[in-house]
């Protein structure tokens, strides 16, 4: 494959650094971009002499255009996406660059989907949500359904081991959802409420998970034809679950300061538990049939968040896009191919009971 250049916006963060390293390992020249030029340059040096680090505020159109100019793909790993705005996608359109992100924010994804006609006219592909949710969850769901009739209900659970590193952006994305209503086909539900015991596969077993405002609420009715979607998240450390649930019950809107404090506390805390993780999809049909599939990381659970992004960016950089316009990740890389690639990286697919 001829080397191509890929820009990773937010490329030195918790997830961005993993994506940058993976793309460099696949033979791409990587531009690591972020607000702190020293951190961007340091990671680029660690990747090798052919890589570049630059300072760029991803919220600014001109900065995004400078960062991605001349690249094959612009990858957005900055966050939280609720505060990002439309600059990265607009910059990709104006620079003639394919676009990939790890967004799980429903409003951000809706805004990106509004640009579908513009990406089509430009002959460009924009792939959203190339992370645990909804890339892995949708690949699992589509592979479980196959060519059969469509299920009636779907439940998605993301389980996160407590020893996984926690960046401020990801903590903020979680904190902003606490207590805010989750819009579903069945009405509004409280964010991080309604605790349920979920039967996760070994080695984790039954765990408590809470209502989460995931993009599957919008995506799964389109992909699967389901009429009811339940998305949940749970943490290995009971104290983390209890703390988030308490904040959610206050009814207050928590934001940047709370997230920064929690991220600092998490960084100071000793590594307790595992670094594993699970994405579990459970489907149910009107005739009583059920199916469950999970992707399991016994350790290094954050690979499930970063690898789909790197794999889809690699596919777009390697040749003509299979589709143009704004698409979910499984339109760019087929579910079976995506899951096979994740298995090749040491993750396990489990037919859950």
pLDDT tens figures, 79-135: 789 889 999 999 999 999 999 999 999 999 999 999 999 999 999 999 999 999 999
Same topology, domains 5-131+302-347 and 132-297? Answer is no
According to the model, what pLDDT value does residue 288 have?
92
The residue among 260 and 313 whose pLDDT is bigger is 313
Q: Which CATH superfamily is domain 5-131+302-347 in?
A: NAD(P)-binding Rossmann-like Domain (3.40.50.720)
pLDDT at 68 over 70: yes
Average pLDDT, the chain: 90
The pLDDT value given to residue 243: 80
pLDDT at residue 130, rounded to an integer: 98
Per-residue pLDDT tens over the stretch 322-342:
999 999 999 999 999 999 999
Give this prediction's pTM. 0.93
With beta carbons less than 8 A apart as the criterion, state whether 179 and 192 touch. Answer: yes
239 CB-near residues (< 8 Å, 6+ apart): none
Q: Which CATH number describes the domain made up of 132-297?
A: 3.30.360.10
Provide the pLDDT confidence category of residue 72 given band limits of 50, 70 and 90: very high
pLDDT at 208 over 80: yes
Say if residue 231's pLDDT is above 80.
Answer: yes
Measured CA to CA, the distance from residue 281 to residue 292 in angstroms comes to: 6
Q: Encode pLDDT of 246-256 as tens digits.
A: 877 876 565 56
Task: Kindly state the percentage of the chain with pLDDT values over 70.
Answer: 90
Domain residue spans in the chain? Answer: 5-131+302-347, 132-297
Write out pLDDT tens, residues 175-203.
777 767 888 877 888 888 899 999 999 99
The confidence score (pLDDT) of residue 185 equals 76
């Amino acid at each position: 494959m001829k080397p191509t250049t890929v820009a990773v916006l937010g490329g030195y963060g918790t997830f961005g650094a993993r994506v940058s390293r993976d793309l460099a390992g696949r033979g791409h020249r990587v531009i690591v971009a972020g607000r702190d030029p020293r951190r961007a340059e340091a990671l680029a040096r660690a990747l090798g002499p052919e890589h570049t680090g630059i300072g760029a505020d991803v919220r600014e159109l001109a900065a995004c255009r400078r960062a991605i100019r001349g690249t094959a793909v612009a990858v957005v790993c900055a966050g939280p996406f609720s505060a990002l705005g439309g600059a990265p996608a607009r910059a990709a359109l104006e620079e003639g660059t394919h676009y990939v992100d790890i967004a799980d924010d429903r409003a951000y994804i809706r805004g990106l989907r509004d640009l579908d006609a513009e990406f089509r006219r430009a002959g460009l592909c924009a792939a959203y949500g190339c992370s645990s949710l909804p890339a892995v969850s949708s690949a699992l769901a589509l592979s479980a359904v196959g060519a059969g009739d469509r299920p009636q209900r779907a439940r998605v659970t993301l389980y996160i081991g407590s020893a996984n590193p926690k960046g401020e952006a990801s903590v903020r994305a979680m904190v902003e959802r606490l207590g805010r209503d989750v819009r579903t086909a069945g009405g509004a539900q409280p964010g991080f409420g309604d605790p349920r015991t979920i039967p996760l596969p070994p080695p984790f077993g039954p765990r408590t998970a809470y209502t989460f405002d995931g993009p599957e609420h919008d995506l799964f009715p389109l992909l699967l034809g389901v009429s009811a979607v339940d998305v949940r998240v749970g943490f290995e450390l009971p104290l983390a679950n209890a703390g988030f649930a308490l904040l959610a019950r206050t009814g207050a809107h928590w934001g940047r300061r709370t997230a920064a404090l929690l991220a600092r506390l998490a960084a100071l805390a000793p590594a307790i538990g595992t670094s594993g993780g699970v994405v579990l999809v459970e489907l149910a049909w009107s005739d009583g049939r059920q199916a469950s599939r999970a992707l399991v990381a016994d350790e290094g659970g954050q690979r499930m968040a970063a690898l789909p992004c790197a794999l889809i960016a690699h596919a777009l950089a390697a040749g003509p896009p299979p589709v143009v316009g704004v698409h979910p990740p499984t339109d760019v890389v087929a579910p079976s191919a995506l899951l096979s690639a994740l298995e090749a990286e040491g993750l396990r697919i489990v037919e859950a009971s």
